[in-house]
Amino acid sequence: MTDVSGEVLVTSLALIGIVIIVSALLSGLIDRSGLPQVAVFLAIGAALGPAGLGVFNTTLDSPALRVVATLSLTLVLFTDAVSLSISEVKRHSGLAFRMLGPGTILCAAVTAIAAWWLLKVPPASAGILGAALASTDPVLLRGLLRRRDIPDDARQALQLESGLNDVVLLPIVVIAIAFTGHYEVNAGSLAKLNLGLFILGPGAGIAVGLIGVAALDLIRKRTGVRRDYESLYSLGIAFSAYAAAEAVHGSGFLAAFAAGLTIAALDVELCDCFIEYGGVTAEMLLLFTFVIFGSSLIWTGFSGLDWPTLIFAAVAMLIRIPIYLASLLGSRVNRRGRLLIAWFGPRGLSSLLLILLPVFAGLPGSERLFQVCALIVLSSVVIHGTSPMLLARFGKPKEDDVTPSPETERAAAAAATAAITLPGAATATNAAPTTARSTASTATPSSTAAPEVGPGIVTIEDVDRLQNAGEKVSLLDVRTERSMETSESMVHGAVRMPPEHVAAQARELKLPKDAWLIAYCA
C-alpha cells in the first residue's frame, strides 16, 4: 500500500468514525430541539474541507464521489420502497395521485420552464434540473414527521410523496440526459433505454426480491434468523438487485426500488427489521455523503451568483406552495394539513444525487446545473430544516398540550386494569410474547423479592413468575401498524402502544411507574 492510499484509507475511516460518533452524541439533542441534522454534517464537512483543516476535499470528477453517490442513491430508493405500506398506498391512492401527479410532476415542469427562461439552459438540461429539484428529502422531513401534532393526513401525504417521488423523477432525469444532444438518439437507442429503465431494471429487482424473500422464509422456518441480521439481509438484497440489473444493462436504481417494493408487499417482518436496524446503517451512509458534499462541493452553489440565479432559486423554493394547495383542493386533508404539505418540500440529498447523474455522464454544462442545485439545497436546509424547530416553538397545539383522544382515554382505562388484573400469559389468545422477539422495559418493581427476569429479553415463563410473585405487570403491544395488519390477534389484556413516541404515550396512558412494563412486537 502506498503512502497516498494509506492517507486516503485513514481519512475515510476517520470520517466514518466522526459520522457515527457525532450522530450518536447529538441524536437526543437533535430530536428534542428540531435542529436540522443535515446542517450539522455539512458543517463537519466544511470544517474538514479546504476552507477548514484541509484534510479532505472532493471534486465532481472524484471516483470516490461516484461510488458514494451510487451507493447513496441506491439506498435512498430502496429505503423509500421498503418504508412504504402497500395497504396504506392503496387506501390513500387518491391522495398519492394528488401528491405525485398534479404535485410532483407539475412542480418539476414549472421549475424546468423557469430554468429554461431565467438561466438560459437548453430544454433537456432544464428538465433535468426541474426533476432533481422536485425531489423531496426524507432525511430533512424526518424531524417533521416525528412530531405528534402533525395532522395524520398531512403526515401520510408527505410520507407517500417522499417514498414515491424519486422513482417518478429518476426516469425523467435519465430520459432527459439522452435528449441533451450529447448522445445519438434514434428509435433503437430509445427502445434500448426504455427497455433498461422500465423492464430489465424493475424485472431484475423483483426477481432478486422474490428469491431473497423465499430464501429467508425457508431459513426462518428451519433454523431461525436473528432479527438484527435480517436488517443486514435487506441491505444485501438492495445491493444485489442493483448489481443484477446493471449486469443485464438495466437500471440498477429502479431495480433497488423494485426489490424494496417486493419486500414491502411480501414480508412485513423483514421491512420492520430493516426500519428498526438497517435503517440506521443506511442513514449513517447518507450522513457520510452529506459530510463529503459539505467539504467543498455544496459550497460551489455560491459561485457565479447573479440576479437570474437568485430569482430562479426563489421560484424553485416557492412554486410548490400554490401548486400543492391547488392539487389538494377537494381532498380530505384539513386546512392546516394542506398548508404544512405545501410548505414542507425540503430539497436535500436526493436532489444532489439526481443532479450528479448528468455530471457522471459527462454532460456539457452539468457543473452549472450542480451549482444551482447546491444553492437551492443549502437554502432549503436553512429554511425547511429549521421550520420544525419554529413549529415546536410557536406551533399549536404543542406536544405537551395534546388532548388525549377517546381511543387514548379508553386505552388508559384498559392499562390501569391490565396492570393489576392481567391474566397469565399462558391464557393469551392467539398470540403471546416470544423469547426471540419480545423486549422488556422494567420500571422499579413493587417488591424487592421479585424474580430476576432481565435485563432485556423475557419469556412467557418470566411473565408467569412475575405475576405469581404478586408483581404489577403491564403488557404492551408495540407492533408496527404493518405488523398489525398481517395479524388480527392480540394478547388478552395487553395495551396497544404504537412504537413511536412511547414515553409520551406512557404518560398519556398514565401507566404505573412501579410496574413491570413488558413490550412485545410479534
User: What secondary structure, in 3-state letters, does 104-151 show?
Assistant: HHHHHHHHHHHHHHHCCCCHHHHHHHHHHHCCCCHHHHHHHHCCCCCC
**Burial classification of residue 132, based on how many CB atoms lie within 10 Å of its CB (0-12 exposed, 13-18 middle, 19 or more buried):** buried
* CA distance linking residue 432 with residue 515, whole number of Å: 19
Quick one: pLDDT at residue 445? Answer: 44
Task: Report the SS3 class of residue 470.
Answer: coil
Please state whether beta strands 516-520 and 438-442 pair in parallel, antiparallel, or not at all (unpaired).
antiparallel
* CA distance linking residue 192 with residue 199, whole number of Å: 10
User: Which cell goes with 286?
Assistant: 447518507
**Count of alpha carbons within 13 angstroms of residue 305, beta-carbon side:** 11
User: Which cell goes with 513?
Assistant: 411507574
Collect all residues with Cβ–Cβ distance below 8 Å to 37 and sequence separation of at least 6. 23, 26, 30, 139, 142, 143, 287
pLDDT tens track of the chain, all 522 residues? Answer: 445 556 666 766 777 777 778 777 777 777 666 677 788 888 888 888 888 887 778 889 888 889 889 998 998 899 888 888 888 888 888 999 999 888 999 999 999 999 999 999 999 999 999 999 999 987 777 767 777 778 888 888 888 898 889 999 999 999 999 988 777 777 888 888 889 899 999 999 999 999 999 998 898 888 888 877 877 888 899 999 999 999 999 999 999 999 999 998 887 777 776 776 666 777 778 888 888 898 889 999 998 789 999 999 999 999 999 999 999 998 888 888 899 899 988 888 899 999 999 999 889 889 999 999 999 999 998 888 777 666 655 455 444 444 444 444 444 444 443 433 333 333 333 333 433 333 444 444 444 445 554 445 667 777 777 778 777 777 777 766 555 555 656 666 677 766 666 666 677 667 776 777 777 666
* CA distance linking residue 404 with residue 392, whole number of Å: 19
Quick one: pLDDT at residue 276? Answer: 64
Quick one: pLDDT at residue 427? Answer: 32
User: Which cell goes with 390?
Assistant: 419554529
DSSP 327-350: HTTTSS--HHHHHHHHH-----HH
Positive or negative, the Cα torsion across 270, 271, 275, 281?
A: positive
**Count of alpha carbons within 13 angstroms of residue 470, beta-carbon side:** 4
Collect all residues with Cβ–Cβ distance below 8 Å to 285 and sequence separation of at least 6. 68, 71, 72, 75
Q: Are 382 and 319 in contact (CB under 8 A)?
A: no
Domains of the chain by start residue, with CATH: 41-401 (1.20.1530.20), 406-520 (no CATH)
Strands laid side by side in the 473-477 sheet: 438-442, 516-520, 473-477, 495-496
Collect all residues with Cβ–Cβ distance below 8 Å to 54 and sequence separation of at least 6. none
Within 10 A of 76 (CB to CB), how many other CB atoms are there? 27
* CA distance linking residue 127 with residue 115, whole number of Å: 8
Collect all residues with Cβ–Cβ distance below 8 Å to 316 and sequence separation of at least 6. 111, 114, 133, 347, 376
- Cα angle 497, 502, 505 (rounded to 5 degrees) comes to 70
Quick one: pLDDT at residue 241? Answer: 96
**Burial classification of residue 414, based on how many CB atoms lie within 10 Å of its CB (0-12 exposed, 13-18 middle, 19 or more buried):** middle
Cα-based distances in Å from 466 to 422, 430, 440, 506: 11, 22, 13, 21
User: Which cell goes with 119?
Assistant: 438561466
Q: Are 91 and 157 in contact (CB under 8 A)?
A: no
Q: Kindly state the helix (H) or strand (E) to which residue 82 belongs, with its residue range.
A: helix 63-82
**Count of alpha carbons within 13 angstroms of residue 521, beta-carbon side:** 20
**Count of alpha carbons within 13 angstroms of residue 42, beta-carbon side:** 19
User: What φ, ψ does residue 474 adopt, rounded to 5°?
Assistant: -120, 125
Quick one: pLDDT at residue 389? Answer: 61
User: Which cell goes with 444?
Assistant: 422499579
Positive or negative, the Cα torsion across 179, 181, 187, 191?
A: negative
